[in-house]
Structure formats: structure tokens, C-alpha cells
Amino acid sequence: MTLNLVHAFQVQDGSRLGYFLTSVGNKEIVSNIDPLSIKHDSRIAHELKPVVEAYVEFSKIISADRNPLDVFTAFDTLMRQLNRLAESKPSWIGAALVKVTHDLIRYAMAADEFIAKNPTMMATKVVGDLEHEACLTKAARTIHGAFKLCLNDRNEDPSKSRKQYVYYFVGQEMRIYFKLQNRDLAKNMEKVLVKMSHSLPDLHNVEKSHAVMYLYYSGIVYCGDRDFEAAYKKFKAAFHLCNSKEKRHLESIFSKYPDLERLKSYTIAYTLYANIIKSVISGDLKLFDREFEGMEVLILKKNLYLVMEELRNFVVLKLLKRIYLANGSNPHLSIKMITRGIEFAKFHTSNKDIAKRNIGVFSSDEAECLVANMIYQGYIKGYLSHSNGVLVLSKKDPFPNQVKSDPK
């Protein structure tokens, strides 16, 4: 195994180097490998020694069936040594870093799961009242080392620059930060990339899977800032770069709500969102709120809570349009009429039935508050006349178009 590893390094084959560093079987006995047996070239021996030693230690731990925490710790050391080696190497080393990063995250997640089930085991020593650090957090710090050495590569030849791997590492870091529910760190990564974008390769000139992952998590960052236009552009780019055969990934990055017939071809997305879309089309608040409540855990997991909150405004907007049309497109809508319309949309029953069943009512004050918010956010044009109990809509354009044309 050591000879194969050395040969991959000699011929500058990052993929094979990464393969040999991660292809240790659970029962493989490698304890007889001598890290000092690299005699092919003294320079190679000097450069590779720390990596080989870390690899051998990791292999011994795997073969001894040690716990996931020990496995992660050893593999984290291996990647740190590989990061140091990569500092002086051109782009070929990036493929090895990618392969090792993939396994590092897997081992970190297994270690954190092990610690959760065995609370007496600590990832780091506890100091005072400080809690132990998650292995996934430690993995992110190690991956950040790979990110920095790629980002700071000064090689002007794009084919030899490690910068082509920047999007992979930033995507993996953002993935970890969202999993750890630390959106601020994910946002910081996006800021760094935006600042350095002038010196980075075009997304169409890097590995597609790397670009798709980055664009997906970048879109989530912009959703969190309620910059849905920027998020849409990110998701759209990810959608078009994604392999058409990867339906699961395509469903995850669906960037807009298509017609229901098209959505049916994406089984998971249709099952999850069909009723949400129907509620937006019809202005059915009860249907939307029921689906929203039932999907709350999933929505939080998928970082879609703010998106869904924003989407509810479109349900209200559709409802107000229907009330407006039902009133003969009269620009003067009584708050009483709006209140009853919203109330029916929320409960699917009349005001008398609501009182009988003691399920609560929707007050005129709540209706005014909701309408005022819609005016403030630019969904409708008009003003409230509180003394007269009337919403006065603009005669020219009471409901501005909320959908911008999609640039080609």
C-alpha cells in the first residue's frame, strides 16, 4: 500500500493518492508498514513522511476496531498533514484533498453520533463551563485549511491552480455550518467568495458537482437574508448545471414553482409542495397554514422557513385580489369585507359557525394590520382610512406585478 501511495505521488495522480489514503478496509492489517521504508527518492521520503505516518496510525486504529471518535481524530490528523503537503503542490493535489474531505465529514458525523449516544466520551477536554466541541466543527476547521490554501494559490495558469477546487471546499463548509445551525459562518464564507470572485475561475469552468453544491448553499444564504431574487439566480444556475439524471438533487434545488403538471414528474417535490402551490393559486389560507404546520420540522431542516413565511404573503395577496374582483373591482374595499374574507379563508366556515364552534375569530384590527403590512412591503398600492374603515386602492395599479421577467 505504501508503494502504491508513493507511486501516485510520484506521477502526480491526486485521484489515486486520495484513493489510497481512504481505501483502508475495517479488517485490513497494515501495522507492519514502515513509514521510513520510502527509499525511492530522499525528497519524496521527506515530503511524504508525515502523511504516511498519519496514514499508518489511522490504519492501525481502523484495523483494531477502535471507536468512531478515535477514528475521526486519526483521520483529521491525516487530512491536516495532507493540507501541509498540498501547500507546495499545484492543482493535481486537489483531487486527493477532495476525496479525503468527503471521508472526513463522514467520520466526523459518525463520531458526533457516537458521542451523543455515549455522553461520557468527549471530543475535547472540558475547560470550566465550556462544552466539548463537535467533531463536525473540528472537521470544518480542517477543511477550511484546504479552502485557504486553494483560495490563496498564486499560480497564474488556471490548469495548474488549486483555485479550481475553492467551490468544493466552500460548499462543504457551508453544508457543515447549516447542519450545525450556524448560518452566520455560512454567510461569512459567502462574503469571502463574493469579495474574491474576481480572481476565481468561472463556475462553468470547474467540476459541475462542485459548482452545484456551492450554488445550492449560497442560495440558502440569500434566502436567509430575504434576498429572494439573488437566491433564485443561484438556484436556477444550480438547477441547470445539475446532471439531469440526478432527480433527487434536482428536487432539492427546485428554484421556482412550476405548473402542477410539470411538478408531477418530480414525485418527492410534488408530494411535499402540491398543496402549498394550490393554496398560493387559490388564496386558501387554511390549506396553506395546515400544510405549513405539518411540514414545519422539514421546512426548518431544509432552511426554508423564511421562504415559506414570505410565500404566505402571496396567499394573502391572491385572497385580496379575489375580494377585490368579487367587489366589482371597486378600489374602495371595506375592512369589514376584507375581515370576513380572510376569516373564511382561514377557517372555511361562516362567522356564525365560528362563534358557535368557539374556534376564534379574525378581528378587523388584525385585518388592518395584515393589509398595512402588505402595503408596506409593496404587494399592494393604496392606503388605509382607519376612520372610515376602508382600504383605498390605487386606481392605476392596485396590485403591482410581483414576478419579474426571467433573464435569458
pTM (predicted TM-score): 0.80
Specify if 404 maps to a domain: no
Give me the helices (H) in 119-264, please: 135-151, 166-179, 183-196, 208-224, 228-241, 247-252, 260-263
What's the pLDDT score for residue 385?
Answer: 93
How many other CB atoms are found less than 10 A from the CB of residue 371? 23
> Which of 348, 376, 344 shows the shortest CA–CA distance to 362?
344
What's the pLDDT score for residue 360?
Answer: 53
What's the pLDDT score for residue 403?
Answer: 66
Does 144 lie in the same domain as 43? Answer: yes
Does 155 lie in the same domain as 18? Answer: yes
Does 299 lie in the same domain as 165? Answer: no
Does 149 lie in the same domain as 20? Answer: yes
Rounded CA-CA distance 332/395 in Å is 10
What's the pLDDT score for residue 27?
Answer: 39
What's the pLDDT score for residue 91?
Answer: 94
How many other CB atoms are found less than 10 A from the CB of residue 131? 10
Helix (H) / strand (E) element for 159: namely none
Specify if 275 maps to a domain: yes
Specify if 112 maps to a domain: yes
Distances (CA, A) of 393 to 142, 352, 369, 401: 57, 29, 16, 15
Does 136 lie in the same domain as 18? Answer: yes
Q: Residue 199 half-sphere exposure, CB side, CA atoms within 13 Å?
A: 15
Rounded CA-CA distance 365/272 in Å is 34
Residue where one domain finishes, among candidates 201, 217, 234: 201
Domain containing residue 299: CATH number: 1.10.10.10
Residue where one domain finishes, among candidates 184, 201, 218: 201
Rounded CA-CA distance 323/342 in Å is 9
Distances (CA, A) of 60 to 16, 28, 80, 96, 215: 21, 9, 18, 21, 39
DSSP string over 244-304: TT-HHHHHHT--S---HHHHTTSHHHHHHHHHHHHHHHHT-HHHHHHHHHHTHHHHHHTT-
List the beta bridge partners of residue 391: 333, 384
Does 182 lie in the same domain as 313? Answer: no
Does 194 lie in the same domain as 280? Answer: no
Question: SS3 for 333?
Answer: strand
Specify if 214 maps to a domain: no
Question: SS3 for 68?
Answer: helix
Specify if 19 maps to a domain: yes
Question: SS3 for 312?
Answer: helix
Does 280 lie in the same domain as 142? Answer: no
- C-alpha cell read off for 408: 435569458
**Host domain of residue 284:** 270-393
Q: How many domains does the chain fold into? A: 2
Residue where one domain finishes, among candidates 186, 201, 216: 201
392 φ, ψ (degrees, to nearest 5): -100, 110
Does 302 lie in the same domain as 162? Answer: no
Does 114 lie in the same domain as 11? Answer: yes
Specify if 94 maps to a domain: yes
Instruction: List per-residue pLDDT tens for the chain, 408 residues long.
Output: 556 777 888 889 999 999 989 986 533 434 444 444 445 556 676 788 899 899 989 999 988 888 999 999 999 999 999 999 999 899 999 999 999 999 999 999 999 999 998 877 654 444 444 456 899 999 999 999 999 999 999 888 888 899 999 999 999 999 999 999 899 999 999 999 999 989 999 999 999 999 999 999 999 999 888 898 898 899 889 988 887 777 676 767 665 445 566 667 777 777 888 899 899 999 999 999 999 999 988 888 888 888 888 889 999 999 999 999 999 999 999 999 999 999 889 888 755 555 555 445 678 899 999 999 999 999 999 999 989 999 999 998 999 987 666 655
What's the pLDDT score for residue 404?
Answer: 65
Does 279 lie in the same domain as 194? Answer: no
Specify if 369 maps to a domain: yes
Does 278 lie in the same domain as 184? Answer: no
Cβ-Cβ contacts under 8 Å for 174 (sequence gap 6 or more): 186, 189, 190, 214, 217, 218, 220, 221
What's the pLDDT score for residue 126?
Answer: 45
The identity of residue 41, as a single letter, is D
Helix (H) / strand (E) element for 199: namely none
Specify if 225 maps to a domain: no
